[in-house]
Amino acid sequence: MSQFPQLKNDRILKVARGEVPDKLPVWIMRQAGRYLPEFMSLRQNHSFFEMCQNPELACEVTLMPIKRYNLDAAIIFSDILVIPQALGMVVEMKPGVGPVLPEPLTFENISKLEPKGVIERLKYVGEAITLTRHKLEGKVPLFGFTGAPWTLLGYMVEGGGSRTLSKAKKWLYAYPEVCHRLMYLLTRIIVDYLVMQVEAGAQILQVFDSSAEVLNKELYTKFCLPYIKDIRDCVLVKLEQKNLEKVPMVLFAKGAHYCLPEQADLGYEVLGIDWTVDPKVVRELLKGKNVTVQGNLDPCALYASEDNLIKFTKKMIDDFGTQRYIVNLGHGIYPDVCPDKVYSFIETVHNVKI
């Protein structure tokens, strides 16, 4: 593997491992995105997936928030939907709408999915990661990421975003065996995809299960937890086989507070917490568990006045406490947030004494 510049800021990695940092680490979900004018100006000339697939462009976008802010991590510019795309599904990113898969999964076309060679077709993500590791010059660690099996299956069955995911949930209730087979297939791909990202230079990994919020404890226990655990276990085994470093992993199961203690037993070092949960309740639910928490400021709090934003941020940190805590929003930042608000948020976090 290529020799990368030495890491200068390892706050996030330390806190993920349960060690005490000099300052609270902070990063922002969707930190490289449309709220940044420099992103919008680049985006005018390129389609979304063209930006994902071109390592130079993906690297440039990944570095945009790092150049502007004192963030404690970078996250590779990509999308969770590159997996369905590499499986042969058409994925379009429609401005103002979001992702659209014009030919969603049906019983008739399941056999058309092409798992063979899928990692090869995702090699561009690895190339973007390797390039970014060099260009980061060791400033901060680089996150790799993936969607969790359920969230990917949801988009594949629904053909795009959905508030209720009633079509995908119908599959869970009506065709559980088919769903298990698909979840298993996605799990195998996700494992190899994450290992490939570490091989390329990712120093920490996040699994996004953004659609966990439409399930309940029973469904999540049956259809999601076993696969999410399998991902963690198999990534560890494969990293060891390849003599690669054991990188920490974050599970962000959005809206799955109905099973937080169960999430803490899957082997992930960090649990991402969405903005709907009270930090004190989170700590209570996770008492005695060996995990770090990450989150969870309401992304809309960045619309508040600077004074109030600072107040909300301090209160959140007070309520979580500074132990084993990575500061983040409780979901991705919105495109119409004023970029200056992000300075106040980060500065407020870094000013907290720990």
Ligand X SMILES: Cc1c2[nH]c(c1CCC(=O)O)Cc1[nH]c(c(CCC(=O)O)c1C)Cc1[nH]c(c(CCC(=O)O)c1C)Cc1[nH]c(c(C)c1CCC(=O)O)C2
Chain contacts with ligand X (rule: CB under 6 A): 29-34, 43, 48, 75, 77-81, 93, 95, 98-99, 145, 161, 208, 210, 254, 332
80 to 72, 83, 94, 145, 151: CA distances (angstroms): 22, 7, 15, 8, 9
* Cα 238 to Cα 221: distance, rounded to the nearest angstrom: 25
In the set 30, 68, 121, 188, the catalytic residue is: 30
- Give the residue at shortest CB distance from ligand X: 210
Shortest CB 25 distance to ligand X, Å: 16
The yes-or-no answer on residue 30 being catalytic is yes
Shortest CB 75 distance to ligand X, Å: 4
User: Given the complex with ligand X, which of 43 and 229 has the nearer CB atom?
Assistant: 43
CB 291 within 8 A of CB 253: no
In the set 35, 155, 227, 325, the catalytic residue is: 155
In the set 17, 34, 68, 121, the catalytic residue is: 34
R_g (Cα) of the chain, nearest Å: 19
The yes-or-no answer on residue 34 being catalytic is yes
* Cα 330 to Cα 211: distance, rounded to the nearest angstrom: 14
* Cα 164 to Cα 166: distance, rounded to the nearest angstrom: 5
User: Given the complex with ligand X, which of 141 and 242 has the nearer CB atom?
Assistant: 141
Shortest CB 331 distance to ligand X, Å: 6
User: Given the complex with ligand X, which of 49 and 314 has the nearer CB atom?
Assistant: 49
User: Given the complex with ligand X, which of 76 and 182 has the nearer CB atom?
Assistant: 76
Q: Which residue has the tokens 């049956």?
A: 222
User: Given the complex with ligand X, which of 30 and 283 has the nearer CB atom?
Assistant: 30
Shortest CB 8 distance to ligand X, Å: 21
The yes-or-no answer on residue 181 being catalytic is no
H or E stretch including 238?
A: helix 225-241
Structure-token pair, residue 86? 């590499």
Shortest CB 113 distance to ligand X, Å: 19
Classify each residue of 78-116 as buried b or exposed e, where b means 16 or more C-beta atoms within 10 Å of its C-beta: bbbbbbbbbbebebbeeeeeebebeebbeeeeeeebeee
Shortest CB 286 distance to ligand X, Å: 22
- What DSSP string runs through 102-126? SS---TTTGGG---TTHHHHTHHHH
How is the chain split among helix, strand and coil, in percent rounded to 5?
50, 10, 40
* Cα 140 to Cα 123: distance, rounded to the nearest angstrom: 23
Length of the chain: 354
In the set 10, 72, 79, 230, the catalytic residue is: 79
User: Given the complex with ligand X, which of 95 and 117 has the nearer CB atom?
Assistant: 95
Q: Which residues are catalytic?
A: 30, 34, 43, 79, 155
